[in-house]
A and B are shown apart, each in its own frame.
Chain A
Amino acid sequence: AQSVTQLDSQVPVFEEAPVELRCNYSSSVSVYLFWYVQYPNQGLQLLLKYLSGSTLVKGINGFEAEFNKSQTSFHLRKPSVHISDTAEYFCAVRRGGGYNKLIFGAGTRLAVHP
């Protein structure tokens, strides 16, 4: 059975500091991984995805993530955050059984302070 664990429920950080949001997964099928962002009062927007190939994936808004198969991790990073990055971030893994169903982590709330 697949599962996703986001290791931090909240991450406070100062503007222009680097940030890492941690995600661990378990999966018995081919691994497809996603990071989504949810700004206040909005739906989810795709930040980046790992399907195959290079383990370093670049996404929108300066975010990147690294797929580590041996550690079953897919951590999200940004070298310098802005106030506008304040949002909730969700890691997800594709389920087995087709239809592009996803399993989501519980979310990490990133709070960027001036």
Chain B
Amino acid sequence: DVKVTQSSRYLVKRTGEKVFLECVQDMDHENMFWYRQDPGLGLRLIYFSYDVKMKEKGDIPEGYSVSREKKERFSLILESASTNQTSMYLCASSTNRGPYEQYFGPGTRLTVT
């Protein structure tokens, strides 16, 4: 079974703090994704990576950056957290061979106060 894990289930940070969210997958997938989930908006893509050190912006990259130094690990960084970044963050991974589904981690609920 594919397993995607995220470093924290719940996180509370203060405005202006630097925040790291980490995601690890164990299926040797090429692609990894970060989404944020907000009520009524579904999942919106923040960034994705298709290989080590390779990344592309998604639909809402402002205020975020990412890092992929190893194939299995994909980090989302909030350089200076703001209250409008309070959300559920979901990590996913997929193979690059064929039109296959994405596999999701359990999510991190981030609250910025």
Contacts and interface: CB of A to CB of B under 8 A. Distances in A.
B99 A104 contact: no
Most buried by B among A42, A43, A90: A43
A99 B51 CA distance: 10
Given A43-B4, A45-B104, A106-B42, A32 B99 contact: yes
Interface in B31-87: 31, 33, 40-45, 48, 50
Contacts, number: 56
A30 B98 CA distance: 12
B54 to A, nearest CB: 10
Interface of B: 4, 9, 31, 33, 40-45, 48, 50, 90, 92, 94-96, 99-107
A32 B98 CA distance: 11
**Chain A facing B: main interface SS:** loop
Contacts of A106: 40-42
29 contacts: A6-B42, A9-B40, A30-B99, A32-B99, A34-B101, A42-B106, A42-B107, A43-B4, A43-B90, A43-B104, A43-B105, A43-B106, A43-B107, A44-B43, A46-B101, A51-B99, A90-B42, A94-B99, A98-B96, A99-B48, A99-B94, A100-B95, A101-B33, A101-B45, A102-B102, A106-B40, A106-B41, A107-B40, A107-B42
Contacts of A9: 40
Given A43-B90, A106-B40, A99 B4 contact: no
A101 B43 CA distance: 12
